[in-house]
Structure 1
Amino acid sequence: MKKVKIGIVGLGRLGRQHAENLAFRIRNCELHAICSVVKEEVDELQREWGIPHGYTNYNDMLENKELDAIFIASPSGFHCEQIEKALEKGFHVFTEKPLGLHLNEVVRVKEAVEKHPDQVFMVGFMRRYDKSYQYAKQKMEQGVIGEPVLIRCYGFDPAKAIDGFMNFAKNNYSGGLFLDMSIHDLDLARWYLQSEADSVWAIGGAYAYPEIAELNDAETGAALVKFKNNTMGIFVAGRNCAHGYHIETEIVGTKGTLRIGTVPEKNMVTVFGDQGAVKECSEGFIERFEQAYLSEVEEFIQCILENRQPHVTVDDGVQSTILGYACKESFETGQLIKVQSHPANEAVYK
């Protein structure tokens, strides 16, 4: 079977993990080119992994006619332009979330994708490919909890990662707590509740790290969302979790409840010692969702080989960004935000 030749842009922490998956763990795939503005990263991986082509300029990589697809793992502020350019050059495209940091950007991406219906386009909402989240979805479809009425999502980054976040945020790469962190939960809510948002109220503050307030952002924040089908969402996100990386989701239905990740266990081991019985916690998103990051890219490759589109669409990226931006607006203004969509799916809020 033909191998899909991929070029990846962005070799940071997540980008490097994706690159390693593409190079060594995914069938019918070949990591054929890598691109980073940090030349040392490119040189290192070319030397150690035997990657044929290395670039420090994204436009140069797009001129490589041997490539079939482009994988975008660069900082969020570059996604929109890089997606548009890759599609115009005829490539299939996988992009990490979000599509962009501004509403006009995500609308541009949607238009660009719709101009190229024969090219596979996929957004990296990896939690949809996590086995636990998929199992919960199956249970919901089987009617185990009746009709879902409320989703509660917690997303906390480990406190020890705060320095890395501050460097990221100071370069305007974040987009804020709700767009950067909560967007995965917002996408899950849309997926589980099968509805778009109607209105949002968000609050938050910088408690242990007041310097985050100087970035007009929250260290810890919460959003309450009413969806158009009258279901509810409660979203809490933070960057100061003492015990590690904690992602928890609860779906409350008319006949029962599902919980995912209530205890963020590192593995199945319990350590018995002078501190009692200890279950260690996951320390980061790559560790917790290692399988999901692999599975989503396997799906992308299969879509290319089978000439079909993935279940995660550009509209999922657009609508989740719209909701994340509405949360950001509510937090910044202190106002209840009414989320609306125009007929053309170009969302606005007021």
Structure 2
Amino acid sequence: MRQILQNLGSGETLLAEVPCPRRAEGGVLIQSVRSLVSLGTEKMLVDFGKGSYLAKARSQPDKVKQVLQKIKTDGLLTTVDAVRAKLDTPIPLGYCNVGVVAETSRQSRFAIGDRVISNGPHAEMVSVPENLVAKIPSGVSDEAAAFTVVSAIGLQGIRLLQPTLGERIVVSGLGLIGLLAVQMLRAHGCEVLGIDFDDDKLKLAESFGAMTVNLAADQDPVLAAEHWTGGQGVDGVLVTASTKSDELIHQAATMCRKRGRIVLVGVVGLNLRRADFYEKELSFQVSCSYGPGRYDANYEQRGLDYPIGFVRWTEQRNFEAVLQLLDGGKIETESLTTHRFVFDDALRGYEAIHEKGAMGILLEYEQENRPERHSRLLWVGNQSKELPGSKTDDPSVAFIGAGGFTTRMLLPLLPKQNVVRHSITSGTGVSASHAAKKFGFSRCGTDTRAVLEDETVDAVFITTPHSTHASFVVQALTHGKHVFVEKPLAMNREDLNQVSDCLNENPSQRLMVGFNRRFSPHTVALKNWLRSTSSSKALVLTINAGKIPADHWTQDLEVGGGRIIGEACHFIDLARFIADSPVESVVATAMRGGDGILGDCAAIQLTFQDGSIATIHYLANGHKAFAKERIEVFAGGKVFVVDNFRRSYVVGDKKSLKTRGQDKGHAGEVEAFLQLACREGRWPIPTEELIEVSLATIDADEQIRTQMSAFS
């Protein structure tokens, strides 16, 4: 199928051939009929992409500070690679989609054939969670319905403004959202004053029943509002404009009555003047997208609705309210539609966004040629369609997962020769398509079963969300593949036991977990230096992990497992490797108090059978200027130090190692997997150590979760 993508690095807007997405659990698969181009968000992304690197930096000063800090801690080369990889990843454009349900679950409230709107992107097929989908009434055309989602943005701003019948409301900025807001406010029984520079937009606002102020004619909006209200001041201002100036909010505050309300829907300068708000006791609020539920994974991804008695208007219910207004003729969209393009000519729509007077740009999808969406890998064309199988000495590899870590840290490390690059799959297909083309793979898709059942695939790299690792490992081993899986191997004992049983049932297959730090040249050097000491060792591993928000997927106990399961396992493995002795006991202690509320500030103490001990301080409450990872080993009267995997040395000795940038062993682990596991049939990491480290990690996490429950 085809989809519109934006490359933020090169600035190129693409109508790309990508695999059809999989229907996500709790979602529906929709065949697109219409979609609406946003002149706000999408134009901003297109313009950002076309800017120079200097322009990009100037537009995001906070990001620049983060980059500079990363250079200090991780080095220039590592930072440059990370920034380039981020900008080079194409992002889907669009969020106003109309289509027909093509696939759904048995428990769904939607049926195949339903006409629906969603916040799906510009693509021939979209997969959307059910709480972001709404049925279209029979009296609403596809074209009109395409305005639903963008209307809901304006509606949410109106709800926060809390207008009442007869109030006088200013709409500052008469773009698409502003003109839709004018109509909704009029339907609400409000008097409306619209402010803009554009004559055509002002005339449209007047046709919808608003009074207007023409800024291009030097009309004073504050004075006009004063006359309009008889000197009382307006009840509220809905700001739907886009400008870097702070003047707009000052004007809004000046024209408000005492205890008036201001709600920001657009993007404006926010250096607020205290006197503006203090003297009148004004309220100011920023509106978030379509309404309650936005950016809440429980609502959007898991389908957990807010009870209507407590949250009357969620984003889905806002969609439905807009559709009711459209059905009742309270919102008119025909006059707002300035361009129509068939999807073949969609890129012309992105040229039109810079035309004067452009507003509603509709894309129309052909219905005769439905895209293939089942059990098929899309041929990219980087290699021959006829791929060699396991008879060759060169392993044929496939990747399941194509996220940022995969494309930045693993795929660039595959050797240019002696590896057959079979396929890459991902949930949406967009990232898989981009990665396959960039790194020379023959196929891409969303159908992981097709990869696992393909006998020409020798080995599989699994780099999906943590909760899927154990399941994919078992499936891949059962299908006769060697497996490289990113950490963690499993999130609980039950899943770990299934993996262990599967390994016993498939003794010819090799499994490797992405414990890359044991393959770092710094760790290799440390192990060599330690050979001169025969005594037990005391290890101190200090991990300045940095804060990750509570709503990040890694903190989600069902998806990411939390940071002990997802990240601390690295250092339990590293301690096990350095000590070179089985783990005898694990004691984990969580930090109490505010900084430890997520369970990602903890001390993990390990004892080993040879008498060695290790203390892992995994902390999320430190300063970014401090090294992220520092390993100290006390043994035989010496102290051995690995400083952030950039410099290693022996205290009081001339032995040292310094690398140009961070080297955490990713190249070494990929090489070890391909050579030892795929070619020689050996274990890059002994299987008993993989199970042992995973079990120790689960043990530590269980102790911390028990303590967290007691604290609360």
TM-score category (smaller protein): 0.7 to 0.9
Give the distance between the partners of 1:47 and 1:109, measured in 2 at CA: 33
Judge conservation of contact 1:28–1:301 (CA < 8 Å) in 2: no
Judge conservation of contact 2:458–2:678 (CA < 8 Å) in 1: no
1:327 aligns with 2:705: no
Q: In the alignment, which residue of structure 2 is the partner of 1:56?
A: 446
**Structure 1 residues 90 and 201, CA gap change in structure 2 (3 angstroms):** closer
Structure 1 residue 50, shift from structure 2 partner = 4.2
Judge conservation of contact 1:200–1:330 (CA < 8 Å) in 2: no
**Paired residue secondary structure (1:309):** coil
**Paired residue secondary structure (2:412):** helix
Q: 1:76 aligns with which of 455, 466, 472?
A: 466
Q: 1:186 aligns with which of 555, 561, 572?
A: 572
1:1-350 to 2 correspondences below 5 Å:
2-21=393-412, 23=414, 25=415, 27-143=417-533, 146-159=534-547, 162-163=548-549, 166-170=552-556, 172-205=558-591, 213=597, 217-243=598-624, 246-261=628-643, 288-289=662-663, 292-304=665-677, 306-334=679-707
Judge conservation of contact 2:432–2:444 (CA < 8 Å) in 1: yes
Matched-pair identity in %: 20
Structure 1 residue 94, shift from structure 2 partner = 1.1
Give the distance between the partners of 2:576 and 2:537, measured in 1 at CA: 12
Judge conservation of contact 1:97–1:317 (CA < 8 Å) in 2: no
Aligned alpha-carbon RMSD (Å):
2.8
Give the distance between the partners of 2:410 and 2:706, measured in 1 at CA: 40
Q: Which amino acid aligns with 2:583?
A: A
Judge conservation of contact 2:482–2:677 (CA < 8 Å) in 1: yes
Q: Which amino acid aligns with 1:122?
A: M
**Structure 1 residues 227 and 334, CA gap change in structure 2 (3 angstroms):** farther
Structure 1 residue 115, shift from structure 2 partner = 2.1
**Paired residue secondary structure (1:288):** coil
**Paired residue secondary structure (1:98):** coil
Give the distance between the partners of 1:181 and 1:191, measured in 2 at CA: 16
Deviations 1:318-347 (A, max 9, x none): 111111122122223349xxxxxxxxxxxx
**Paired residue secondary structure (2:538):** strand
Structure 1 residue 64, shift from structure 2 partner = 2.3
Give the distance between the partners of 2:628 and 2:603, measured in 1 at CA: 15
Structure 1 residue 9, shift from structure 2 partner = 0.8
Structure 1 residue 130, shift from structure 2 partner = 0.2
Give the distance between the partners of 2:560 and 2:482, measured in 1 at CA: 25
Deviations 1:267-286 (A, max 9, x none): xxxxxxxxxxxxxxx9xxxx
**Structure 1 residues 32 and 256, CA gap change in structure 2 (3 angstroms):** same
Judge conservation of contact 1:98–1:317 (CA < 8 Å) in 2: no
**Structure 1 residues 93 and 324, CA gap change in structure 2 (3 angstroms):** same
**Structure 1 residues 21 and 206, CA gap change in structure 2 (3 angstroms):** farther
Give the distance between the partners of 2:706 and 2:546, measured in 1 at CA: 28
Give the distance between the partners of 2:458 and 2:639, measured in 1 at CA: 44
**Paired residue secondary structure (2:553):** helix
Give the distance between the partners of 1:228 and 1:48, measured in 2 at CA: 47
**Structure 1 residues 136 and 234, CA gap change in structure 2 (3 angstroms):** same
**Structure 1 residues 186 and 46, CA gap change in structure 2 (3 angstroms):** closer
Give the distance between the partners of 2:463 and 2:402, measured in 1 at CA: 7
**Paired residue secondary structure (1:2):** coil
Structure 1 residue 84, shift from structure 2 partner = 1.0
Q: In the alignment, which residue of structure 1 is the partner of 2:299?
A: none
Q: Which amino acid aligns with 1:256?
A: K
Structure 1 residue 17, shift from structure 2 partner = 2.8
**Paired residue secondary structure (1:257):** strand
TM (norm. structure 1) is 0.78
Judge conservation of contact 1:33–1:61 (CA < 8 Å) in 2: yes
Judge conservation of contact 1:76–1:101 (CA < 8 Å) in 2: yes
**Paired residue secondary structure (1:319):** helix
**Paired residue secondary structure (1:100):** coil
Structure 1 residue 38, shift from structure 2 partner = 2.1
Structure 1 residue 163, shift from structure 2 partner = 4.3
Q: How many residues align?
A: 305
**Structure 1 residues 198 and 66, CA gap change in structure 2 (3 angstroms):** closer
Judge conservation of contact 1:4–1:30 (CA < 8 Å) in 2: yes
Q: Which amino acid aligns with 2:699?
A: A
180-189 or 123-132, which moves further after superposition? 180-189
296-305 or 125-134, which moves further after superposition? 296-305
Give the distance between the partners of 1:19 and 1:328, measured in 2 at CA: 27
Deviations 1:41-67 (A, max 9, x none): 122223444421112132122122321
**Paired residue secondary structure (1:233):** strand
Structure 1 residue 172, shift from structure 2 partner = 2.6
Q: Which has the larger radius of gyration?
A: 2
**Paired residue secondary structure (1:242):** coil
**Structure 1 residues 260 and 50, CA gap change in structure 2 (3 angstroms):** closer
Q: Which amino acid aligns with 1:152?
A: V
